[in-house]
Amino acid sequence: MSMLKMASTKLNFFYGGFQALSDISLEFERNRVTALIGPSGCGKSTFLRCLNRMNDLIPGTRVEGTILLDGEDIYASEMDVVTLRRRVGMVFQKPNPFPKTVFENVAYGLRVNAVRDETFIAERVEKSLRRAALWEEVKERLHQSALGLSGGQQQRLCIARALAVEPEVLLMDEPASALDPIATQKIEELIQELKKNYTIIIVTHNMQQAARVSDVTAFFYMGTLIEVNTTETLFTRPKYRQTEDYVTGRFG
């Protein structure tokens, strides 16, 4: 099995006449955590959303170049977007549980994928909650509203919901930025655990977080990829001046 899980080649992305990404070529290896960093507006979140075609939902956008998932072009006409998003799951900045029970939140993806076997669903819900390191905290209140959980628990619930459909790649857009330090630490530990089974790509504004959780870090600036390197190298001896200025806070 190839180590390469996903790869973008010469990816350009436009919002109408504005080019938000230029010639991004970046590879993601299996069971690795890759962090995307850069100042606001640098294109890192836009790039993340290209990886499961979330940008398709925004009118007036256009993509050039290719993104391969296990060698298949995700923008090819025969690619089913629903299947793609099942394989490439996403966790957002703010926890967004549905106004349903804890159980139904996690079961949601299975139900929309027409799974009817309740035993199977219950098993998958438990497995996902365990993987998201939430099971012990919610097992007694599975049938209560998810909105009663704390912010950190809600975010782990969203991760469990993403895991329930057994994705291969997990995209995380600032998953801990709305959480307190303890909840953040739990999410970071969880990321380390999850990488054993998934390929993880995380956007973060918190450089210390990128340094702590990722194996590889990519630095974006004004829609271009400036540098991609092992996280240790990027934060201790980056190759390019722009990266150095950004990570040392001398930007602009």
Q: Which residues of this chain interact with another protein, rule CB under 8 A?
A: 207-208, 211, 235-238, 243-244, 247-250
Amino acid at 82: V
Nearer to another protein, 110 or 210 (CB): 210
In the complex, what is the shortest distance from the CB of residue 52 to another protein, in angstroms, rounded to a whole number? Answer: 30
Identify which of residues 198 and 219 has a Cβ nearer to another protein in the complex. Answer: 219
In terms of CB distance, is 4 or 207 closer to another protein?
207
Q: Which residues of 48-72 are buried (b: 16+ CB within 10 A; e: fewer)?
A: bbbbbbbbeeeeebebebebbbeee
Would you say 2 or 208 has its CB closer to another protein?
208
Alpha helices, DSSP H, located in 117-180: 118-131, 135-138, 151-164
Q: Which residues contact 71 (CB under 8 A, 6 or more apart)?
A: 2
State the nearest-atom distance from the C-beta of 49 to another protein, in Å: 27
* 3-state DSSP assignment of residue 13: strand
Nearest distance from C-beta of residue 244 to another protein, angstroms: 5
CA-nearest of 213, 102, 120, 109 to 164 is: 109
Q: Which is nearer to another protein, 196 or 250 (CB)?
A: 250
Residue 236 Cβ vs another protein, minimum distance, rounded to whole Å = 6
Count Cβ neighbours within 10 Å for each residue of 86-101 and write b for 16 or more, e otherwise.
Answer: bbbbbbbbebebeeeb
What minimum distance in Å lies between the beta carbon of 245 and another protein? 9
**Cα 110 to Cα 175: distance, rounded to the nearest angstrom:** 23
Q: How far is the CB of 184 from another protein (least distance, A)?
A: 15
Q: HSE of 176 in the Cβ direction (CA atoms, 13 Å)?
A: 22
The least distance separating another protein from the CB of residue 219, rounded to whole angstroms, comes to: 11
d(CA 19, CA 13): 6
How far, in Å, are 15, 24, 29, 146, 168 from residue 226 at the CA level? 21, 9, 19, 41, 27
Is 115 or 207 the residue whose CB approaches another protein more closely?
A: 207
Pick the closer one to another protein by CB: 139 or 237.
Answer: 237
